[in-house]
Structure 1
Amino acid sequence: MSFAWPLALISLLLVPGVLGVYWWAQRRRRRQAVRYSSVALLRSVLPARKRWQRHLPVALLLVGLASLAFAAGRPQMTREVPYARTSVILALDVSRSMCSTDVQPNRLAVAQEAARNFVEKQPKGVRMGLVVFSGFAELTVPPTTDRKTLDEAIKALTTGHGTAIGSAMLKGLDAIAESNPAVSPVGDSPDAPAANPGKPGANGFVPDIVVLLTDGANNRGIEPLDAVPYAVERRVRVYTIGFGTPNPAPPSCTREQLGGDVFDTRGFGGGGGGFGGGGGFGGFLVADEPTLKAVAARTGGTYHSAKDADQLRKVFTKLPKEVATQKRPTEITWWFAGLGALLAAAAVAASMRWSPYP
């Protein structure tokens, strides 16, 4: 614990000063008491009090004064808090393969619940944004501390055709650039990869991260590994999550998850009647783990695999620990001020309660 105004602690000298005055007053009272011809008579006219009742008001007053003296020094405690500009961008796959029922009730419903819990448990100072992607990527919620808006957006997710993982990464970088001036935007999805910027983290990382969850492989837009140099250049880590089992069950989207495609009869493919990222109904695609692992490793993040709801919840539980923090003093003056005022009031009340004079 430290103090913003340490010189104010001189006021602590009031405590021994008041204690000395009280001790002197007690000795003087004893000397005067022996002048009476009958000490027994003196005791008989005073109400009976226990020894601790006589000293309790002064004890409460002394502790209260000490607490107020500490408050005058503006005490501070140092604790770790997230950087004020930290942003966590959730990039969630909403391709039709997320309707697979290998995870009950389906992958998207489980991912929505896990993402909402993740948002709820983030520190208040962390801004969060939401990128959704299927055939293209879209920033639906810019980085914000408004958890309610983000929660409503996650609950309202609808599915589409295709899987644009690389585009989602670039859209996440642009979202971070909106709140962190140190990160430059990528702009419209480029067709060519950026120049190789070198080893990730060579110049440190920004505190902002992208958390990307998908159950398939990229089949739209820029390739994920071609998007990696843009993230490395901007010192942004990408944490990837491969979700779903190796043997997806038949899809079952709710009307809400189908959204505007509620009457779509083309099947669950990227344009050819396939399921998820492509393939026929018997040839389901699963998360492209080699690519997701490479994306995480090359940007300084980590890859996580989740095959059911419990595993996904555990993965999201680990992610906040990766966010950069800093030590910052937090003033706790009101703790001591409130305690001091309470003790002083208690001292007055005790003195009135056990006063020898009615």
Structure 2
Amino acid sequence: MSLSSPLVLVVGLMVTVALGWGVVVSARRRAGVLAAAGVAVPGGRRTYLGVGLTIAGLGVLAVAGAGPAAMVPVPRTAGTVILAVDVSNSMGADDVAPTRLAGAQRAARAFVEAQPDSVDIGVVAFERGALTTARPDADHSLALKAVDRLKVTGGTSLATAITASLSAITGEQVVVDRDGTIPDLGYWPSATIVIFSDGQNQGGDVEQAATAAQKAGVRIHTVGVGTPAGATVNVDGFHLRTALDEETLTLIARTTGGAYHPASDAARLDGIADSIDLRLTVSDEPLPLAGGLIGLALALLTGGAALTVLRSGRVI
């Protein structure tokens, strides 16, 4: 238990002890006077029960005034979340109205707005390369602005999306070597990556990158934006067919202990924020006790006053 004003407790208890001692001295003098006059002294503990309750109430009130608080474990959603949004040319497809990217932006915004202040959110835009457009921060407006600025361009590298997100989490450049060597990134169990993509990977070893995240304790959720039937996009005058690759996105999620969330239409995209489970952490937080102690003090003071009046016809 902690006290916000220990001096109040010291002073309050000193006053309470002084009052108690004063009552004892007064009672002894009164008994002596009555005995000298040959008057029987009313005895028994019940005679002073009301006074005792009153003094006890004052003591409890002194403790309450010191601002006591108990530290209790409180589970809450916390940590770091990186939103990795695919901005490759295929995200311009319109099989999710109005486009895959617009749908991903809408879902990402809803996700950000649903998170408590205890979650730091960053944004990574990726195609063949990746760029951290908003570093993890408790100010969620920065993430929302970064999501709104996204535009389609280039190809897709889901491996780059993962390594760039890990870089944003650890604060260091993360590279998975071509020979399969996975770097030691430390352990980040409170970090989560959410990838919004159609899953069409065109570069990099996705499984190695996902394994690097898994070794670092980082869970990845994937959100599939698009439809298996696909659509045609116009890239530099060429008409290219593009479809949702759920298998790759599912592989990434399962490797890290996350989950794949299909979002083939606007309605499913709108519900993504509620379907993604973030890490629950337990932290010790102060629980104020003053309210309960004040209630107890008032009960003691009221009981003491009532008993004193009933027995002697006066409050003290």
Could you say which residue in structure 2 is the equivalent of 1:81? 76
Q: 1:194 maps to which residue? A: 181
Q: Which residue of 1 aligns with 2:265?
A: 308
Kept in 1, the 8 Å contact 2:223–2:262? The answer is yes
Aligned to 2:230: 248
Separation of aligned partners in 2, 1:109 and 1:66: 61
Query: Aligned partner of 1:190: which letter?
Result: D
Instruction: Count matched residues.
Output: 252
Q: State the Cα deviation string for residues 148-192 of structure 1 (Å, max 9, x = none).
A: 1111111111110211111110111111102xxxxx6524x6333
Change (3 A) 1:70 1:141: same
Uncovered stretches (5+) of structure 2, i.e. residues with no partner: 24-56, 299-316
For 2:66, give the aligned amino acid. A
Q: CA RMSD in A?
A: 3.7
How many angstroms apart in 2 are the aligned matches of 1:322 and 1:311? 19
Amino acid in the other structure paired with 1:330: P
Q: Distance in 2 between matches of 1:211 and 1:96?
A: 20
Q: Partners of 2:157 and 2:263 in 1: how far apart?
A: 20
Structure 2 residue 130 is the aligned partner of structure 1 residue 137: yes
Q: 1:80 to 1:219 in 2, by over 3 A?
A: same
The TM-score normalised by the length of structure 2 is: 0.67
Equivalence map 1:1-358=2 (5 Å) = 3-5=1-3, 8=9, 69-76=63-70, 78-83=73-78, 86-178=79-171, 185-187=173-175, 190-194=177-181, 206-220=189-203, 222-251=204-233, 266-267=236-237, 273-274=238-239, 280=240, 284-319=241-276, 321-332=277-288, 336=291
**Matching residue's letter, 1:170:** T
Q: Distance in 1 between matches of 2:179 and 2:83?
A: 24
Deviation of the 1:287 alpha carbon: 2.5
2:166 and 2:213 in contact (8 A); partners too:
yes
The whole-number CA distance in structure 1 between the counterparts of 2:61 and 2:230 is 64
Deviations 1:179-236 (A, max 9, x none): xxxxx6524x633323599xxxxx986110111111131113x121121232122221
Deviation per CA, 1:300-349, whole angstroms, max 9, x where unpaired? 21111111122123222222x3223113223447x849x99xx9xxxxxx
Counterparts of 1:327 and 1:241, CA distance in 2: 30
Shift of 1:68: 7.5
SS at match of 1:192: coil
CA gap 1:109/1:68 in 2 versus in 1, 3 angstroms: farther
Task: Quote the offset at 1:132 in angstroms.
Answer: 0.8
Q: Separation in 2 of the partners of 1:142 and 1:129?
A: 5
For 1:110 and 1:68, the matched residues in 2 are separated by: 59
Distance in 2 (CA, whole Å) between partners of 1:66 and 1:207 is: 41
- Compute the displacement of 1:147 (Å): 1.2
CA-CA distance at 1:142 after TM superposition:
1.4
Question: Which structure features the higher share of strand residues?
Answer: 2
**Residues 120-161 of structure 1 deviation map (CA, whole Å, 9 limit, x = unaligned):** 221212111111112211111111112111111111111102
Deviation at 1:99, TM superposition (A): 1.9
Please give the secondary structure, in 2, of the residue aligned with 1:80: strand
SS of 1:310 mapped into structure 2 = helix
Three-state SS of the structure 1 residue aligned to 2:242 is coil
| TM-score computed with the length of structure 1 as normaliser | 0.60
Report percent identity of matched pairs. 31
* Partner secondary structure for residue 322 of structure 1: coil
1:286–1:249 distance in 2 versus 1, CA, 3 Å: closer
CA contact (8 A) 2:80 2:192 kept: yes
CA distance in 2, matches of 1:156, 1:287: 23
Answer whether contact 2:218 2:256 (CA < 8 A) is retained: yes
Q: Distance in 2 between matches of 1:132 and 1:204?
A: 24
Q: Report the CA distance between 1:109 and its aligned residue.
A: 1.4
Amino acid at match of 2:154: H
- Structure 2 residue aligned with 1:27: none
Aligned mates of 1:82, 1:64 — CA distance in 2: 41
Q: Which SS does the other structure have where 1:226 is aligned?
A: helix
Unaligned runs of 5+ in 1: 22-62, 179-183, 198-202, 253-264, 268-272, 275-279, 344-358
Post-superposition Cα deviations, 1:219-265, rounded to whole Å, max 9, x if no partner, equal 13x1211212321222211111212122334559xxxxxxxxxxxx7
